[in-house]
Amino acid sequence: MNQEKKWINVAKGVLIVFVIIGHSQLNENIIKWTYWFHMPTFIILSGYLFNGSYNLKELISKRSKRMLIPYFSFALLTLIIIQLQSHNLNEISLYIENILRGGRSLGYNYGVYWYPMCLLLTTITFAIMIKTIKNRIVIAITIITLYIVAHLYIANNDYKVFWSADTVLIALFYFGLGCYGKSIINKINTLYGIVAVFVGGLLICCDYVGLIQYKLDIKSNLYNHMILDALIPIVFTVAIISISKLIQHKYAGLLFNKAGKMSMTIMYLHLPVMIVMRSYFNVSEWITIIVAIGVPIGVHLIFERISLFNVLFLGKQHTIKYKGEERSV
The predicted pLDDT at position 83 comes to 82
- Distance CA(96)–CA(74), nearest Å, equals 12
pLDDT at 4: 57
59-71: per-residue pLDDT in tens?
Answer: 999 999 999 999 9
pLDDT value, residue 214: 95
Please state, rounded to an integer, the average pLDDT across all residues of the chain: 91
Q: For residue 200, name the pLDDT band (cuts at 50, 70, 90).
A: very high
> Residues 102, 163: contact at Cβ < 8 Å?
yes
β-strand partners of 326: 321
Distance of CA 52 to CAs 122, 127, 191, 298, Å? 14, 8, 30, 35
Give the C-alpha separation, 181 to 44, whole Å. Answer: 9
222-223 vs 319-322, strand pairing mode: unpaired
pTM above 0.75, yes or no: yes
> In this predicted model, what pLDDT tens digit does every residue of 168-192 receive, in sequence order?
999 999 999 999 999 999 999 999 9
Long-range contacts of 155-159, Cβ-Cβ distance < 8 Å, separation of 24 or more: 155/221, 155/222, 155/223, 155/224, 156/221, 156/222, 156/224, 157/221, 158/104, 158/221, 159/104, 159/221
120 CB neighbour count, 10 Å cutoff: 19
pLDDT range class, residue 103, cuts 50, 70, 90: confident
Surface-to-core class of residue 58, CB atoms within 10 Å of its CB (0-12 exposed, 13-18 middle, 19+ buried):
exposed
Give, as one character, the DSSP assignment of residue 153: I
> How many beta carbons lie within 10 A of that of residue 9, not counting itself?
22
CB 143 within 8 A of CB 258: no
Confidence of residue 86 (pLDDT cuts 50, 70, 90): confident
Residue 322 has pLDDT above 70, yes or no: no
195-199, 271-275, 287-291: range with lowest mean pLDDT: 271-275
pLDDT band, residue 326 (cuts 50/70/90)? very low
- Binned at pLDDT 50, 70 and 90, residue 2 comes out as low
Does 321 have pLDDT greater than 50?
Answer: no
